[in-house]
Structure 1
Amino acid sequence: MTEPPSPRNDTRPTAVPPSRGLSRWIVPATIVAIVWVAWPWVKPAIDRVIYAGQLASLPAPTALPVPVQGVSRQALRDTWGGARSGGRRHEGIDIFATRGRPVLSATEGIVTRTGTNTLGGNVVWVMGPGRQMHYYAHLERHGDVGPGDRVAVGTVLGYVGDTGNARGTPPHLHYGIYAAGGAINPYPMLRNASDARPAASPR
């Protein structure tokens, strides 16, 4: 008498329940859908990260245009290191000009911060080539820029004023540059403004 085959020895393929096969695609499909919907916001963030890396790889400038419209380099005075309240030293250069005169970006870069602080009043920070930070302070008001914006040489960042601890003094821009080792004097670079050439823009 022949015995029926044992179920354990049955080599026929077992059918995969339709629900199990479908579930393997739910997570990838959901991720693709989320990325597709969020792409208009995600792409600019990715572009900023790439551009920031390219900026960091560029050499720091050795000559800069004067960052106030209509002010000649001959009119500049080296105010670096002057005594300030609280035992501080002046970490920048004051560029005097008519109130409301446009303040221009001295480099290409990314706006990292706009806002207000006690000393600087209305301020704008721009990260430029070589990862140097460029600080524009005492602005009467900000220009049409905000954190994350990419700016070119000559982009209007704000307007000359006397906000912050400069209140009551002649309107001027406080312009500072900060590198990895601390503040550096912008004056020599600004005096070479006639030789200034924008660093090659990252592609």
Structure 2
Amino acid sequence: MKRFLGLIVFLALLAGALYLLWPQIRNAQRYSALLSAPTPAEDSLPSPLPGQNLTDTWGAARSQGRRHEGIDIFAKRNTPIHATTRGIVLNVGPNGLGGRTVMVLGPGGQRHYYAHLEKYPELERGEWIEAGTVVGYVGNSGNAKNTPPHLHYGIYAGGGAINPYGLLEKNPAAP
């Protein structure tokens, strides 16, 4: 009988530990799946601003001798911006050039960068999101304060910035 009670206590403790650790276990599984997933193919990502025309602004000259590492998609202020992939939110917060930004870790370990936002939705670092989740609203924060409202969308991999234009569907439909 004593042995049976010890087994019950052990199983109860094990179940409690698994219950408490499950969110971390689930996040580790998702992180692993993202890193091993294939990177997006040409014309496979939905537009972060459905219904807006896309223009390839990659490589355009910028201040201080920089080159544009992304594309700008112009839209009305506060237009919802949708995640192009599923992933884990790496950062929600301001930086010098991008102003209000969101960074999402997506398939293949690529980082999807949304910048110049007007405001953020309720997102937290480490949160899992699906493609289509609203990650921000169009604005002109950061070094875009003197430009019309737009989204700067960039993709980064281990080797640096990738032109997102070729990966985005070119005939976006409004939601």
Task: Report which structure shows greater RCO (CA 8 Å, sep ≥6).
Answer: 2
Structure-1 residue corresponding to 2:46: 65
Aligned to 2:27: 48
Alignment of 1:22-171 (within 5 A): 32=13, 36=16, 39-40=19-20, 42-62=21-41, 63-71=44-52, 75-171=53-149
Between the two proteins, the alignment pairs up a number of residues equal to 161
Write the distance in 1 (CA, Å) between the matches of 2:161 and 2:107: 15
Q: Are the aligned partners of 1:65 and 1:193 in contact in 2 as well (CA < 8 Å)?
A: no
Gaps of 5+ in 1: 1-24, 195-203
Partner of 2:131, secondary structure, is: coil
> What is the root-mean-square deviation in Å for CA atoms of aligned residues?
2.1
TM-score (norm 2): 0.84
Moved over 6 A (4+): none
Matched-pair contact (CA < 8 Å) for 1:55–1:129 = yes
Q: TM-score, normalised by structure 1?
A: 0.73
**What is the alpha-carbon distance in structure 2 between the residues aligned to residue 108 and residue 144 of structure 1?**
16
For 1:139 and 1:39, locate their aligned partners in 2 and report how far apart those are by CA, in whole Å.
37
Alignment partners' CA distance in 2, 1:38 and 1:139 = 39
Compare CA radii of gyration and give the structure with the larger one: 1
Contact 2:54 2:170 in 1 (8 A): no
Q: Distance in 2 between matches of 1:56 and 1:37?
A: 27
Give the alignment of 1:4-23 within 5 angstroms: none
Q: Tell me by how many angstroms 1:88 deviates.
A: 0.9
Structure 2 unmatched runs, 5+: 1-5
SS of residue paired to 2:126: coil
Aligned partner of 1:184 among 146, 155, 162? 162
CA distance in 1, matches of 2:167, 2:79: 21
